[in-house]
A and B are shown apart, each in its own frame.
Chain A
Amino acid sequence: MVLLTPGPFISAYYEQSFQADEMGIELVEGPDLMVDDGYVHKRTTRGLRRVDVVYRRIDDAFPDPLAFRADSMSGVPRLMAAKSLGNVTIVDAVGTGIADDKAVHRYVPQMIRFFLAEEPLLENGPTWQCGNVDDCSHVLDRLPELVVKDVNGSGGYGLLVGPHSSRETIAEFHRKIVSAPGRLIAQPTLSLSKCPTFVESGVAPRHVDLRPYALCGNGHDGNIDVPLVPGALTRVALPAGSLVVNSRQGGGTKDTRAVDQ
């Protein structure tokens, strides 16, 4: 088993090397792997060694230059072919990125009702999809109160936090929504929890959010099983008052443990 990283030049590298360390698995970059005869191998000082599981930490478009973006330097040619032969398991399978599409948020309760015929146990954060005409006019009316996000955005880029933004920025997002409504969603500005955090001036309250880890695969009985890992990642926004916790925006992390069910 290996952890596939884009390399030391991205902000999450430390986290990835920490994870690999904790799991006692090898941290590899694309060029360390190769696919031969349908199997994935790593290049070692003692020749090629089989790899059965790849924990993928590179973006959806990059894992295999022959299957996706051809200019990918961080991927492994024919990785997807090995995957379709069933010769390698990719953790964080290619395609799971669909859950990153923020337009999905709006439809999660409907998906639960449709696929499981159940009512959601946890309430969904209210989400308006600007591509929907009713949603859109609602959003445009209340723009200064809302958070607006690009559906393909990640890393805390290109988002509007209405209550913290200038009139100019709000007007700019107004124009964006009008010109390409389908690309944007809006949510109420949530008051994220705060947690004592060590910063330059000492210990101070900073906003945090929780990222649970859900694993999806076949359980022992052969049915699909989705266990939650008994622990999670807490992200913390280091600038005072900020609600943006992403590491690419200078956010930090905190250890998190579930102490009781």
Chain B
Amino acid sequence: MVLSRTADNLFWMARYIERAESMARDVGRRMASLLPDPVGAASEWASTIEAAGREASFQARFDVANEASVIRHLVRYANNPSSIVASLGTVRSNARAVRTALSADVWDAVNSPWLETQALRDEDFTTEGLPRILDWVKERSQRFGGAVANTMLRRDAYWWVRLRTLLERAENTARLVDVKYHVLLPRAEGVGGLHDDFQWATVLRAVSALRAEHWVYHDRLDALRVAELLILRSEMPRSLRSCTSQARYYLWRIRDGSPGTTSTAFIDDTADMAADDISVTPFAGSGSHQSPSVAMALALEESLQRTTVEEIFAEALHEYLTEFTSATNEIGFEIRREYL
């Protein structure tokens, strides 16, 4: 049990560091695909803005989506709450309000990147400087994850951090897949072309999954396989299914509230790696872990287990992903109603 405000601050902290990382990954994806682009560079940059769900705030400031304006808006602009610089500030101020709930290592992992953002200069935001900054953001976010995993007590504060990280990660993966699908492949006959291979490869690289794809499928890239990997494969740590299963697990822990046993502490650690192995509740039969948010997360998880990628494509990928995102949003609202 933690103060509701503490849970709320931990929620924001975890959400925004995850958001900074996925923003860095997505902007990095775009930087990496700076090859002569038959579709036109503008649509690429527009898709980056769209993946970030920031069209409205972007259009209010800029006419044209190009490298300079997108970098300013998504990386640097302090008034865009989702920009990397603003996110790291939000992370830090939320962490500061709950310092006593964090280990010293976790605090340091959120405080030092914020201090480092204060020292950034104009040249860090140029085509040459940016890749270094994006790597730095990813590295800092992973250091945060490492500090959380290695030093936090397996109690409420930890569960709240993990829960929000996973929900945010699921939403980010969904957005990334969605944008690549409906922005870049509006025409059915385009599926499978060389250009698409290249596009999908950049998507996979954005979530560090290109190698995973080769290991899982031993085959040429195609939209179906990529979508399956990022949506349905439980061994893929950023897939919707994996994130949903793990999030549901931490919701259970929060609901149950007991410090648990050595074996649950072990599952807490390994939940990241094997969502499948935790599909059985460690609190079987008690019923105390049931709540509307848990039920919603379970329903979402079960639908991800049942569905095949062929069914998703037959129904329309974009609609599927939109439904997924609104389901995770609903879970977020329900968590808020139950606990915060």
**Which residues of A approach B to under 8 Å, CB–CB?**
7-8, 17, 20-21, 26-29, 31-32, 42-46, 49
Could you list 7 examples of A-B contacts with CB < 8 Å?
Answer: A7-B97, A8-B93, A21-B100, A26-B3, A29-B5, A32-B4, A46-B257
CA distance A49 to B257 in the complex (A): 14
- A46 & B5 in contact (Cβ 8 Å cutoff): no
> Given known contacts A45-B339, A46-B1, what 9 new A-B pairs fall within 8 Å (CB)?
A8-B96, A26-B3, A29-B5, A32-B5, A43-B4, A43-B5, A44-B3, A44-B4, A49-B1
CA distance A7 to B160 in the complex (A): 21
B177 at the interface (CB under 8 A from A): no
CA distance A43 to B340 in the complex (A): 9
Main secondary structure of the interface of B (DSSP, over half): helix
Residues of A within 8 A of B93 (CB): 8
B7 at the interface (CB under 8 A from A): yes
The 6 A-B pairs with the shortest beta carbon distances in the complex, nearest first, are A45-B339, A46-B1, A17-B99, A43-B4, A44-B1, A21-B100
Residues of A within 8 A of B257 (CB): 46
- B7 closest partner in A (C-beta): A45
CA distance A63 to B257 in the complex (A): 32
* B21 shortest CB reach to chain A, Å: 25
- A42 closest partner in B (C-beta): B3
* B256 shortest CB reach to chain A, Å: 11
- B156 & A45 in contact (Cβ 8 Å cutoff): yes
Residues of A within 8 A of B254 (CB): 45
- B99 & A43 in contact (Cβ 8 Å cutoff): no
Q: Which of B4, B93, B340 has most A Cβ within 10 Å?
A: B4
Residues of A within 8 A of B96 (CB): 8
CA distance A173 to B339 in the complex (A): 55
- A23 closest partner in B (C-beta): B100
Main secondary structure of the interface of A (DSSP, over half): mixed
Residues of A within 8 A of B100 (CB): 17, 20-21, 26-27
CA distance A125 to B20 in the complex (A): 56
- B97 & A8 in contact (Cβ 8 Å cutoff): yes
CA distance A43 to B1 in the complex (A): 10
* B60 shortest CB reach to chain A, Å: 30
Residues of A within 8 A of B160 (CB): 45
Which residues between 191 and 207 of chain B lie within 8 Å of chain A, taking CB atoms? none
B212 at the interface (CB under 8 A from A): no
Our count of residue pairs bridging A and B at CB distance below 8 angstroms stands at 40
Residues of B within 8 A of A49 (CB): 1
B2 at the interface (CB under 8 A from A): yes
Residues of A within 8 A of B5 (CB): 29, 31-32, 43
Residues of B within 8 A of A29 (CB): 5
- A45 & B2 in contact (Cβ 8 Å cutoff): yes
CA distance A46 to B160 in the complex (A): 13
Residues of B within 8 A of A21 (CB): 99-100
- A45 & B1 in contact (Cβ 8 Å cutoff): yes
* B199 shortest CB reach to chain A, Å: 43
Residues of B within 8 A of A43 (CB): 3-5
* A54 shortest CB reach to chain B, Å: 14
* A107 shortest CB reach to chain B, Å: 40
- A44 & B2 in contact (Cβ 8 Å cutoff): yes
- B338 closest partner in A (C-beta): A45
* B297 shortest CB reach to chain A, Å: 16
CA distance A28 to B4 in the complex (A): 11
Residues of B within 8 A of A44 (CB): 1-4
Residues of A within 8 A of B2 (CB): 44-45
* B168 shortest CB reach to chain A, Å: 19
Residues of B within 8 A of A20 (CB): 100
CA distance A44 to B101 in the complex (A): 14
CA distance A32 to B98 in the complex (A): 13
Q: Mark B327-340, 1 if CB is under 8 A from A, else 0.
A: 00000000000011
Residues of A within 8 A of B339 (CB): 45
* B193 shortest CB reach to chain A, Å: 50
CA distance A45 to B4 in the complex (A): 5
Q: Which of B3, B4, B93, B254 has most A Cβ within 10 Å?
A: B3
CA distance A43 to B2 in the complex (A): 9
Q: Mark B64-105, 1 if CB is under 8 A from A, else 0.
A: 000000000000000000000000000001001101100000
Residues of A within 8 A of B3 (CB): 26, 28, 32, 42-45
CA distance A17 to B5 in the complex (A): 15
Q: Mark B1-23, 1 if CB is under 8 A from A, else 0.
A: 11111010000000000000000
- A14 closest partner in B (C-beta): B99
CA distance A43 to B96 in the complex (A): 19
- B254 closest partner in A (C-beta): A45
